[in-house]
Amino acid sequence: MILINIISLMFLLDVCVCVSELGPPGWREPLDCVRASELCNQNSQCSSRYRIMRQCLSGGDKERSTMLASKECQGALEVLQDSPLYDCRCKRGMKKELQCLQNYWSIHMGLTEGEEFYETSPYEPIHFSEEFRHASIISDSSLSKVTPCSEGGKSCNPCLDAAKACNLNDTCKRQRSAYIAICTKATPPQSSLANQEPCSRKRCQKALRQFFERVSWELSYPLLFCSCHDQACAERRRQTIVPACSHQERHKPTCIELRRTCRSDALCRSRLADFHMNCQVTSHTVTSCPHDNYHGCLMAYVGLIGSDVTPNYSDSSPSNITISLWCTCRGTGNQEHECDAFHRDFTHNTCLKNAIQAFGYGSEGGPLTVTEPQATFFPPAQPPIISKPAPSLHGNAIKPMDSACVFSTCANLQDGGQKCIPSEDFECEEALLAQGSINSQDTDGVKSSAQKSAPPFHHICATVSVSILAKLLL
């Protein structure tokens, strides 16, 4: 019953998303680069220049820049700048993502061969409909089973709660077990190699990427961005991505080397550009994030996990979060400045830090280092597509890890907000727990009883959300 509701809700939301994509005049979804190259290939002039361009980029680093400087390559670029390939974009996790990214860079690498420090992200901006969909599902997700602990709770460990929520979901459990098993599996001993790696790094990183692609963010993000009050919790958080295999290496490269390695790979290069675009510290916003979009930054950060530049928490300090890459700037000589600048975007990134803390701690509860207004968890990345104001969806209602009440947009709506005044959230939490226990305590014939005793709560939730949608769309 609950499941059916969730599915139908998602279906309805999907429909809405499609409608809104068609709706607004003057805003066009960027063409994806796979489609763009198909279009280009249908045009004889475009396709011949495109072929030339790919040859220009085929050589190694040095070869490439001389090639690109040649008349032919420059001529080809000029023509291609007017083609649909020029402003095409890719979707995260789309079919043929790698092909799309390769198509993107086949033009843009030529345009930015001057080794620009920050590159334009080949990914579509995270726009409103997407976030809206995310935010709405929070109210129904199994996250509501996770009870964020109040200060001073005797065994408060949100990271453990996140693991529980994941284990209780079949997909999440399977995908998590898969990457853990791969990342902790020792490579078969080879006596000839003295310094063998403890695990298969490549396979581990692939499994991690798969985990974050296939598991919904409501279950995966809390594992990675849980808030901690003690070291045991923070150590668990640090261990989430099995850093011994995915993050650390026997050899610690310079950050310059690391960046170069990443840029030679289309996927890593794209994810890095996306990170720079979405997590770049800016002084123009309150949160230090571009467009005050925390979610965009977290998404871009997660996108890096499983790439050559896999970031992680540098220690198990519960409150003082430091993110770093496995690289050093020692001994980089005259490149030290550039090296530092690159690494500092991870180690000293207020936007990223604020985004992580806002996710884990909510706006109350935790130690927020930088002042941060309440209603900015899911601000639109672009001017919202839906033009009518939607106060209830922008305000306090959508803050996932804030308190038990806030998990459920519906709790507010159902009770006219009575139970969800922050000071009374315990009451609300209890109500939630009571609903949950109907399911979990009955051990006899779980499947059938769960159907019989589906709490009316969720039902109301789904219908209310849908009716809001209907209003928004009118």
Partner 1 sequence: KRARRPKPCSLREMEVTVSELGLGYESDETLLFRYCSGKCTGHRRNYDITMDHMRRTGFRKKGRKDKVSNGPCCRPIAYEEDISFLDNRSRYHTIQDVSAQACGCV
Instruction: Tell the smallest beta-carbon distance from residue 10 to partner 1 (Å).
Output: 23
Instruction: Tell the smallest beta-carbon distance from residue 439 to partner 1 (Å).
Output: 10
* Token pair recorded at residue 266: 């289309």
**How far apart (Å, rounded) are the C-alpha atoms in residues 338 and 329?**
9
273 HSE (CA, 13 A, CB side): 25
Q: Which is closer to partner 1, CB of 180 or CB of 469?
A: 180
Q: Which is closer to partner 1, CB of 203 or CB of 344?
A: 203
Instruction: Tell the smallest beta-carbon distance from residue 199 to partner 1 (Å).
Output: 11
Instruction: Tell the smallest beta-carbon distance from residue 201 to partner 1 (Å).
Output: 16
Could you tell me if 170 and 142 are in contact, meaning their C-beta atoms sit under 8 angstroms apart? Answer: no
Question: CA triplet 374, 365, 457: central angle to 5 degrees?
Answer: 75
Instruction: Tell the smallest beta-carbon distance from residue 453 to partner 1 (Å).
Output: 15
Instruction: Tell the smallest beta-carbon distance from residue 227 to partner 1 (Å).
Output: 17
Q: Which is closer to partner 1, CB of 17 or CB of 450?
A: 450
Quick check: helix, strand or coil at residue 312?
Answer: strand
Q: Which is closer to partner 1, CB of 30 or CB of 436?
A: 436
Three-class SS of 336-372? HHHHHHHHHHHHCCHHHHHHHHHHHHCCCCCCCCCCC
Q: Which is closer to partner 1, CB of 150 or CB of 448?
A: 448
Q: What is the DSSP letter of 89?
A: B
> Which residue shows structure tokens 């992580």?
356
Could you tell me if 463 and 1 are in contact, meaning their C-beta atoms sit under 8 angstroms apart? Answer: no
Could you tell me if 357 and 237 are in contact, meaning their C-beta atoms sit under 8 angstroms apart? Answer: no
Q: Which is closer to partner 1, CB of 181 or CB of 370?
A: 181
Instruction: Tell the smallest beta-carbon distance from residue 84 to partner 1 (Å).
Output: 44
Type of residue found at 283: S
Buried b (16+ CB within 10 A) or exposed e, 191-203: eeeeeeeebbbee
Could you tell me if 233 and 158 are in contact, meaning their C-beta atoms sit under 8 angstroms apart? Answer: yes
Q: Which is closer to partner 1, CB of 33 or CB of 163?
A: 163
Residues of this chain that bind partner 1 (CB under 8 A): 155, 157, 160, 163-164, 167-168, 173-174, 176-177, 180-181, 183-184, 232, 235-236, 239, 242, 440, 443-447
Q: Which is closer to partner 1, CB of 74 or CB of 167?
A: 167
**How far apart (Å, rounded) are the C-alpha atoms in residues 84 and 20?**
23
**How far apart (Å, rounded) are the C-alpha atoms in residues 143 and 166?**
9
Instruction: Tell the smallest beta-carbon distance from residue 393 to partner 1 (Å).
Output: 32
